[in-house]
Amino acid sequence: MKRYFLLLLLIFPVSAYSSRLSLNPEISYISTGASLSPFMLGASIETDLMKNLSLGYRFGKASKTENADKPNEEKIDFMVNLFYVQYRHQIKNLPLYGFGEFGAGYSNAKVTDLWNSTDTDSYEIKDRGTIISLRAGTVYDFSQNISLFAGLGWHKSLYSGSLDAAGKSISGYQLFFGVKFNIFGSNNEMGSRY
């Protein structure tokens, strides 16, 4: 985790001359391709590269258990770290934007199944590898420093270990929403445009 933080410190000095640096907590409902679809809590930090183009880093973690303490208990743990590029397009002269985003990075997943047997065995498979993500949605600027965003996305983890061998592909859709808080800069001189 330290190396990700150090990488952020190297990449985001760009924000010193850019117009905006924001912290974006979010919640998303994700499909994993396995039988469980958990909610993921995460956050991203994002900086403008130019007027409608930004670079960001996102971290997210999800965990879900079904049929807890029963013979057919199943649990999934899933984590992502990725960098993304986002393009925004203003809708008319409103403080409303459509956006598209491409991200790539690292993910790991662990699936645990508990089966009914005489000695109740636990079966655990885990894997790690590259993740790619595509997302699209809308952003609404409420003020110079706060915006709301929501949208749909798709993700695919490219594994080649035990999850892949077990036929459990960790991929699917995302439904997400969150809030952008500007740490530095503002929402593109909002007052002068609306």
The closest alpha carbon to 31, from 154, 132, 126, belongs to 154
Q: Vertex 80, ends 16 and 90: CA angle to 5°?
A: 50
Q: Dig out the tokens for 81 from the structure.
A: 């770290």
What is the domain count for the chain? 1
In the block, tokens 């965003």 appear at 149
**Which of 98 and 194 is assigned the larger pLDDT?**
98
* pLDDT bracket for residue 69 (50, 70, 90): confident
Could you read off the pLDDT of 132-176 as tens digits, one per residue?
A: 999 999 999 988 899 999 999 999 988 877 776 666 678 889 999
What is the gyration radius of the CA atoms in the chain, in angstroms?
A: 19
Measured between alpha carbons, how far is 118 from 173 in angstroms, rounded to an integer?
38
Predicted TM-score of the model (pTM): 0.81
* pLDDT bracket for residue 27 (50, 70, 90): very high
CATH of the domain at 146: 2.40.160.20
**Assign residue 51 a region: left if phi > 0, alpha if psi is -120 to 50, beta otherwise?**
alpha
Domain ranges, residue 16: 2-193
* pLDDT bracket for residue 179 (50, 70, 90): very high
Using an 8 Å Cβ cutoff, are 185 and 23 in contact? no
Out of 12-26, 57-71, 79-93, 169-183, least confident range:
12-26
Q: Dig out the tokens for 154 from the structure.
A: 């798709």
Using an 8 Å Cβ cutoff, are 80 and 56 in contact? no
How confident is the model over 67-73, as a mean pLDDT? 74
* pLDDT bracket for residue 99 (50, 70, 90): very high
Measured between alpha carbons, how far is 28 from 137 in angstroms, rounded to an integer?
13
**Which of 188 and 60 is assigned the larger pLDDT?**
60
Q: Dig out the tokens for 115 from the structure.
A: 């089966």
Other C-beta atoms lying within 10 Å of the C-beta of residue 5: 9
Residues of the chain with pLDDT > 70: what percent?
78
Kindly give, in sequence order, each residue whose CB lies less than 8 Å from that of residue 177, ignoring residues fewer than 6 positions away.
26, 27, 28, 148, 149, 150, 151
How confident is the model over 83-102, as a mean pLDDT? 93
